[in-house]
Structure 1
Amino acid sequence: MAKGSEPHPPTGLRLGRRRFLTAAGLAVAGTALTTAAGGPARASQRAATAGAGLAAGFRVPVDTVPHARTWMAWPDSSTIWRSKLSGVQSNIALIARTIAKYEPVTMCANPASVAKARSLCGPTVTVIGDIPVDDCWMRDTGPVFRTDGAGGRDTVGLNFNGWGNHQNPHGNDALVAGRLAAYLGLPFTAAGLVAEGGAIETDGAGTLMATRSSILNANRNPGMSQAAVEKAMCAAYGATAVIWVPGIAGQDITDDHVDATSRFLGAAEAVVQQPLATDTDVWSEDQRRQYAILTSATSAQGTPFTVSRIQGPDYNLIRSTDPNFVGSYANYYLCNNAVISAQFGDSRADSAARATLARLFPGRTVEQLNIDYLGAGGGGIHCVTQQQPAA
């Protein structure tokens, strides 16, 4: 039977984003997968003191600002990826080559893999062997770059711990943020919490959006109150307010990252991927909750949000039948003059997503890539990239 003609497994039964890594038998710590907040999951938006990060004038800008470079990481572990490794490498190379049409790309690879990475990525991508890596998820392991609006840049590390010790080994990835900052000669500060970049969105104007199930979780920040976590996040990002989305704990290795569903477009502007009306699984309900939260939220300046929708694909019509597949158009990556997004083989949804991204980002070229191997690994294009903003 041709791929796509057989009904896709119900999304509620999917292992979820990158869960296949733990299913493959990697070491998993026995930490609790409960949120620190307790009680029913609900939206919470609170002002917080920005602390030293904001006092110093540094903040993480919104994704739409001009970039100096994109950073990526080369996967080479057959222990992690098994039979998926060559396909994932081809997807990573495709993403890197596509971004390199618009801005410089530097790929961090282990010394033994530099030659292969250079061969697949081609001459437009710079591959270095100075920063060892365990895997390809640079959004979560790389430094968060900040600017001060006067030509200065520094970096913050989010203390990556293997998504709550779900994945081992992660010793190299835990050091990527600091090592990359040192490679660039930029100041580096460790944040006062454990998190991943995919779990936090910033509008660059004082407002953060974060996943409660991932960050307020005993496997990352045991014993920290919500107020303490908010204060640490705001200090790291140079923000003053946090909008929490509840997320889903224990269903995937990330405990649900916000960047697969909801993204900031700018101050008081966001886009949220929405499921089909007939989808009733936990991931679809999470998308609907995130949309409801943002449509009733206000920014750090007290401005109500304008929220756009991007329609998700029909899992019965996409190419992949992998039960771990993540079909996220919202996990796009913005680079200079372009939007790099995925397409999944549902031609109607792919075309509609392209049109939506073109409308949301006028003047940028929309590139849609087949990254099915990466999607079967539970991630997307935003997950494997980290922007270095121009000063």
Structure 2
Amino acid sequence: MFGSFDKTPKELGYRMPGEWEKRRRTFMQWPVRDGKNGGTSIWPNGVDAAKVGYAHVAKTIAEFEELVMIAPAELLNEVKEMCGEKVKVLSLPIDDSWVRDNGPTFLLNDKQEVAGVKWRFNSYGEKYQPHYNDGKVPYHLGIFYDTPIFTSPLSLEGGGIHSDGQGTILTTESAIITQSRNPNFTKEQITTLLKEYLGAEQIIWLKSGLYGDLTDGHVDNTACFVKPGVIMIQACYDKHDPDYEIFQENMKTLKEFKDRSSGMPFEIIEIEKPPIRYYDGQLLTLSYINYLPVTGAVIVPIFGGDAKETDKKALELIQKVYPDRKVVPVDGMPIILGGGCVHCITQQMPYGKSF
């Protein structure tokens, strides 16, 4: 099942579906990286504050679809108490709480069979230790849900790729083409491998993600597909903001590509970024792009305070582009302090048949 396939996912007819397609469930991983036992700490407010934020997101998603929280055995009772009865719990050893990045990237084929890709996870270029258990999560889920798992030689995180479901993948050079992740592959080789493991025909390479992003610029903070032919991008209009030049360059790149199905240029929707914010001297990468479509809803992070006006604009815009879904805001601050937000802490499994 694992890594023993004679053909790639693309050769077997698999593709990475769009996030708006029908879903089976969503996964999360409970915050555990508390800096104890020699590990790297990432939560400036402490892991207990992070758990409150994660529990709120989990309970919100569970109102719309199945939510499975992955947690180590010794914390299962804590998860059940904080997340409530609607949230399901799966016991696995883990190192951190960003299942978008270390979990499997799920695929579908024309028979509606589900498979997954395990990327070579090295915790953002060996930034955080340990990460051994997180790297094994795709295999555990493959066994538990009877789903075949393809093992890719590429080192990347799931937050670094986004799909239109029809053969186009959006990504950033800054978070994949790096010496700390893929020193032995050229851009051309990485492009080919992405196509083979995601069932893609076209890779859109943005130069970089948001300034100061601890992931080196994941695309899920920067731009995403709303549906085939439509891309939303976090816009920066302040020329003194370091994200301004990044935004301008990424817009230029996106305008050079066309939607494969229609042959038309992509419709690009700009969503204004929140004001620059620091916490204890650390720049926070606030992003409305880091939302999550779920069954019948869209879970959107908001940041309050001086972001009150951009919060309001973002919610209105996202409601406009998802007219048939309920837009549900959640407080993104307890999560963003660890370096990510709603999309980063979740991973969706599409609806389909298991083996």
TM-score above 0.5, yes or no: yes
Pick from 69, 79, 84 the counterpart of residue 46 of structure 2: 84
1:106-117 matches, within 5 Å, as: 106-117=68-79
The equivalent of 1:52 in structure 2 is 8
Per-residue CA distance 1:58-109 (angstroms, 9 max, x = gap): 1110000011100000012210245421111111111100000000000000
1:90-129 matches, within 5 Å, as: 90-129=52-91
Give the letter aligned to residue 77 of structure 2: A
Return closer, same or farther for 1:270/1:140 CA change in 2, 3 Å cut-off: same
Pick from 368, 382, 388 the counterpart of residue 329 of structure 2: 368
Per-residue CA distance 1:104-144 (angstroms, 9 max, x = gap): 00000011111111111111101121x21111101101101
Taking structure 1 as the reference length, the TM-score comes to 0.82
1:231-242 matches, within 5 Å, as: 231-242=192-203
The equivalent of 1:329 in structure 2 is 288
The equivalent of 2:310 in structure 1 is 349
The equivalent of 2:170 in structure 1 is 209
Pick from 25, 31, 52 the counterpart of residue 69 of structure 1: 25
Deviation at 1:278, TM superposition (A): 2.4
The equivalent of 1:311 in structure 2 is 272
Return closer, same or farther for 1:110/1:284 CA change in 2, 3 Å cut-off: farther
Return closer, same or farther for 1:279/1:126 CA change in 2, 3 Å cut-off: farther
Per-residue CA distance 1:22-46 (angstroms, 9 max, x = gap): xxxxxxxxxxxxxxxxxxxxxxxxx
Pick from 215, 229, 237 the counterpart of residue 268 of structure 1: 229
- Aligned-partner Cα distance in 1 for 2:264–2:55: 40
Return closer, same or farther for 1:321/1:355 CA change in 2, 3 Å cut-off: farther
- Aligned-partner Cα distance in 2 for 1:191–1:224: 13
Return closer, same or farther for 1:311/1:74 CA change in 2, 3 Å cut-off: same
CA contact (8 A) 2:211 2:242 kept: no
Per-residue CA distance 1:242-273 (angstroms, 9 max, x = gap): 11001169954311101101001122210001
Deviation at 1:154, TM superposition (A): 0.8
110-119 vs 285-294, which deviates more? 285-294
CA contact (8 A) 2:31 2:96 kept: yes
- Aligned-partner Cα distance in 2 for 1:249–1:89: 26
Deviation at 1:231, TM superposition (A): 0.9
Aligned sequence identity (%)? 29
The equivalent of 2:130 in structure 1 is 169
CA contact (8 A) 1:157 1:188 kept: yes
Deviation at 1:281, TM superposition (A): 3.3
Query: Residue 382 of structure 1: SS of its match in structure 2?
Result: coil
Total equivalences in the alignment = 337
CA contact (8 A) 2:210 2:243 kept: no
Return closer, same or farther for 1:364/1:211 CA change in 2, 3 Å cut-off: same
Say whether 1:244 aligns with 2:205: yes
Give the letter aligned to residue 299 of structure 1: D
The equivalent of 1:178 in structure 2 is 139
Query: Residue 271 of structure 1: SS of its match in structure 2?
Result: strand
The equivalent of 1:29 in structure 2 is none
- Aligned-partner Cα distance in 1 for 2:223–2:265: 16
Which structure would you say has the larger RCO, counting Cα contacts within 8 Å and 6 or more residues apart?
A: 1
The equivalent of 2:104 in structure 1 is 143
- Aligned-CA RMSD value: 1.9
The equivalent of 1:389 in structure 2 is 350
CA contact (8 A) 2:210 2:222 kept: no
Per-residue CA distance 1:318-372 (angstroms, 9 max, x = gap): 9x67633222111000100000011111222111111110111111000111121
1:292-311 matches, within 5 Å, as: 292-301=252-261, 302-311=263-272
CA contact (8 A) 2:213 2:285 kept: no
- Aligned-partner Cα distance in 2 for 1:250–1:268: 26
Unaligned runs of 5+ in 2: 1-6, 36-40
Deviation at 1:375, TM superposition (A): 1.2
The equivalent of 2:243 in structure 1 is 283
Query: Residue 8 of structure 2: SS of its match in structure 1?
Result: helix
CA contact (8 A) 2:211 2:285 kept: no
Say whether 1:228 aligns with 2:184: no
Return closer, same or farther for 1:163/1:240 CA change in 2, 3 Å cut-off: same
- Aligned-partner Cα distance in 2 for 1:249–1:352: 20
Query: Residue 52 of structure 1: SS of its match in structure 2?
Result: coil
Deviation at 1:315, TM superposition (A): 3.2
Runs of 4+ aligned residues of structure 1 deviating over 6 Å after TM superposition are none
CA contact (8 A) 2:163 2:170 kept: yes
- Aligned-partner Cα distance in 1 for 2:12–2:345: 29
CA contact (8 A) 2:175 2:208 kept: yes
Unaligned runs of 5+ in 1: 1-50
The equivalent of 1:17 in structure 2 is none
363-372 vs 73-82, which deviates more? 73-82
Pick from 116, 121, 139 the counterpart of residue 160 of structure 1: 121
